Structure 1
Amino acid sequence: MTAVARVDRPKTRKGSRIVKAREPLTIENPKKTSFVKAANINQRTAQILKDLYTLKKTESVFYQKKNDIRPFEDVSHLEKLMAKKDTSLFAFGSHNKKRPQNIVLGRTFDRMVSDQFEFGVENYKALDEFKVAKIGIMVKPVLIFAGEAWQQTNEMKRLKNFLIDFFRGEPREYLGVSGLEHAISFTAMGSSTILLRSYKIHLKRSGQKTPRAEVEEIGPRMDLKLRRHKIASDDLFKQALRQPKGLKVKKKKNLEQDDLGTSLGRVHMERQDFGRLQTRKMKGLKKKKGQAASGGGEESGGDAAEAEPMEADEV
């Protein structure tokens, strides 16, 4: 006999609502982030987690309790914490002599950890150390990636994709110029060092329709040293990028989009007969009776002079 897997069904209405809310959706909810502290975390590393949490405050869960977790050895406890709050991204902070000021950033697919990157934080300056005006909440940041190293290896390409997924915020259909207040810059200095900087965008008058933009660093500032990473296989990554059929846009004939999302169309027209082209109705452009019959002559007036045939030169 074939063994049948046991399925635990909810026994209460509240449990049914929770299970229904976790079912796959055509349009998924905005991704949330779990911020978890290790048992051996120090105050400096905890402050790093708090600054990252401030950048994603409206879509994050911060656990005050310390947890004995080692993400690169066993992620079962971490996956349970994320499933409890229905989060798909995580930031884990720890500190020890071998790996001081250690931050692990990662994400899950199908409630299992797929990609995770471990960084050592250097040259750190906290958000409170910048005595400038900060940005408000619910502000979608502009992400800037500088450096050729982002396109050199598969690991760096996957890391860039993850950072976009982690810091992009809630999706918006439209974003006006006045909503551009925050910019996060990632500069790749080789394949192991990433400079993270955060700026506030000030829009100044320029005398033209487009305003002039000035940036001011607001923190946090940190240099991320990539220590370890564990990424999903290419097949699993493609499976995570798969979209439902309802979201796939049907390809229209003679219509395509560029990288910025601008629609470009190709129009096919029949060959035009310029002799039938309608012009302004003016007396000076009308043909006279003699020209209408012969179909030639000048429109400026006067009879067309007959040209005498030229005799060929004798050789």
Structure 2
Amino acid sequence: MSALDAVVKPKTKRAKRFLEHRAPKVNENEKNTILVKGGNASDTVTKSLRDIYSLKKPHCVLYKKKNMTRPFEDQTSLEFFSKKSDCSMFVFGSHNKKRPNNLIFGRMFDFHVLDMIELGVEKFVPLKDFKCSKCPEATKPLLIFAGDSFEVNEEYRRLKNLLIDFFRGPLVTAVRLAGLEHVLHFTAVEGKIFMRSYRVLMKKSGCRTPRIELEEMGPSFDFVMRRTHLASDDLYKQSMKRPKAAVIKKKKNISQDTFGTTYGRIHMQKQDLGKLQTRKVKALKKRPADKAGAGQESPKKKKLV
């Protein structure tokens, strides 16, 4: 075995905890994101990355220095940053004459680029231009997708899957009504993707269920799809494979209805009701005369002439 293949054991408890955090798990950690700025970035790209960072905090790392790299030509730099920061999602912002105000959304699998989709920013309204109160940090958003392109076109369908993976936030078992206060709406129409961010306002309605109103809080993007780098079907299927320990086995003869009520089916052998033990009541006891008559044949009735 070469020196490169040798396993280095941690010498301190801190290093041991670090390696355990990076090790593969049955239930993976929350997906973190790195925001990287290219060698030439416009003011629109810089503000866009800053607003996306505001939406993704605290599961996000913003790189402030410029990085001379081109993801569609050389992906080694992004893979290095991903492994260094332990992030499986990334956004790369750049600007040039051929592709102005460019944002590349992508994700990693085993610290290698899985999918990359390049979106051009045609119109952008930053978060600070909306004079209203904002949602608290780390609020789990509601994601809404409108448009037939998200279901028909393969590139748009993969973009929808990527955006869900990017903005869905931590996995939770239950959410209270007051926690549903952030909505991200994506609309695909005429080759463009419109991203809008709303804050949910709950007003009095005179009954138990509140009246819902949406107030736009920003940021607002008008995207156009440019280049794509999508994983093959085999690699995409492999990235979605779940370990056997994480798969919940289905229990036989147990079902649930729409209201969450659990029903179970019990299989029993056929019972002989003649031997069924019943309650011993005095009125059901047989008299001695009945017991004696039960052993004798009943006398034949004579026909009267």
CA positional deviation for 1:122: 1.3
- Give the whole-Å Cα distance in 2 for the aligned partners of 1:124 and 1:45: 9
Partner of 1:87: 87
CA spacing shift, 1:87–1:257, aligned 2, 3 Å: farther
TM score, norm. by length of structure 2? 0.81
Structure 1 counterpart of 2:161, one-letter code: N
How far the C-alpha of 1:171 sits from its partner, in A, is 1.3
Map 1:155-166 → 2, pairs under 5 A? 155-166=155-166
Asked if the contact 2:253–2:265 (Cα under 8 Å) also holds between the matched residues in 1, the reply is: no
Distance between the aligned counterparts of 1:15 and 1:222, measured in 2?
Answer: 42
Say if 1:269 and 1:251 are closer, same or farther in 2 by CA, change over 3 A.
closer
Report the alpha carbon displacement of residue 131 of structure 1 after superposing the two structures with TM: 0.8
1:10 is matched with 8
- What is residue 43 of structure 1 aligned with on the other side? 43
* Aligned-residue offset at 1:235: 1.3
| Superposed displacement of residue 268, structure 1 | 6.1
Counterpart amino acid of 2:73?
A: E
2:104 corresponds to 1:104 = yes
What's the offset of the Cα at 1:155?
1.9
Q: Is 1:229 matched with 2:228? A: yes
Percent sequence identity over matched residues?
45
Is the contact made by 1:255 and 1:264 (CA closer than 8 Å) also made in structure 2? no
**Alpha carbons 2:124, 2:220 under 8 Å: kept:** yes
Confirm whether residue 213 of structure 1 aligns to residue 219 of structure 2: no
3-state secondary structure, aligned to 1:209: coil
Taking the aligned partners of 2:3 and 2:240, their CA distance within structure 1 comes to: 28
Counterpart of 1:162, as a letter, is L
1:5/1:236 CA distance change after superposition, 3 Å: farther
Letter in 1 for 2:68: D
Q: Which runs of 5+ in 1 are unaligned?
A: 271-315
Aligned position for 1:273: none
Distance in 2 between residues matched to 1:115 and 1:51, nearest whole Å: 22
Residues 177-211 of structure 1 deviation map (CA, whole Å, 9 limit, x = unaligned): 11011000000114x31100000000112222221
User: In the superposition, relative to structure 1, how do residues 237 and 98 fare at CA in structure 2: closer, same or farther (>3 Å)?
Assistant: same
Q: Distance in 1 between matches of 2:132 and 2:170?
A: 25
In the alignment, is the contact (CA less than 8 A) between 1:181 and 1:201 conserved in 2? yes
Task: Give the alignment's TM-score, normalised by structure 1.
Answer: 0.79
Distance across 2 between alignment mates of 1:257 and 1:170: 26
CA RMSD between the two structures: 2.2
For 1:72, the equivalent position in structure 2 comes to: 72
Residue in structure 2 matched with residue 204 of structure 1 by the alignment: 203
Where do 5+ consecutive residues of structure 2 fail to align?
A: 268-305
Write the distance in 2 (CA, Å) between the matches of 1:48 and 1:256: 48
Contact in 2 for aligned 1:256/1:263 (Cα 8 Å)? no
- Name whichever of 205-214 and 68-77 sits farther off: 205-214
How far the C-alpha of 1:6 sits from its partner, in A, is: 3.5
Q: 1:118-142 deviations in whole A, cap 9, x for unaligned?
A: 0000121111111111111121000
Q: How many positions carry a matched residue from both structures?
A: 265
**Matched-pair contact (CA < 8 Å) for 1:94–1:102:** yes
Q: Matches of 2:212 and 2:3 in 1, distance apart?
A: 60
Separation in 2, partners of 1:66, 1:213 = 43
- Distance in 2 of aligned mates of 1:16 and 1:232: 34
Residue in 1 that maps onto 2:250: 251
Q: Deviations over 1:214-234 (max 9, x none)?
A: 000011111110001111111
Given that 1:149 and 1:156 are in contact with CA atoms closer than 8 Å, whether structure 2 keeps it comes out as yes
CA drift at 1:44: 1.6
